Amino acid sequence: MTILRRSTFLGSGTVGERGQVVIPAGARKEFNIDTGDKVLFFGHPKRAGLFIIKAEVVNDFVSKAINNAVSLEKLLASLDENAGIDEA
pLDDT tens readout for residues 10-69: 888 899 999 999 999 999 999 999 999 999 999 988 888 888 999 999 999 999 999 999
Q: According to the model, what pLDDT value does residue 24 have?
A: 92
By three-state DSSP, how is residue 75 classified?
helix
Q: According to the model, what pLDDT value does residue 54 have?
A: 93
Q: Which residue has the higher pLDDT, 3 or 60?
A: 60
The amino acid at residue 69 is A
21 and 13 in contact (C-beta within 8 Å)? yes
Q: According to the model, what pLDDT value does residue 36 have?
A: 94
Q: According to the model, what pLDDT value does residue 20 have?
A: 92
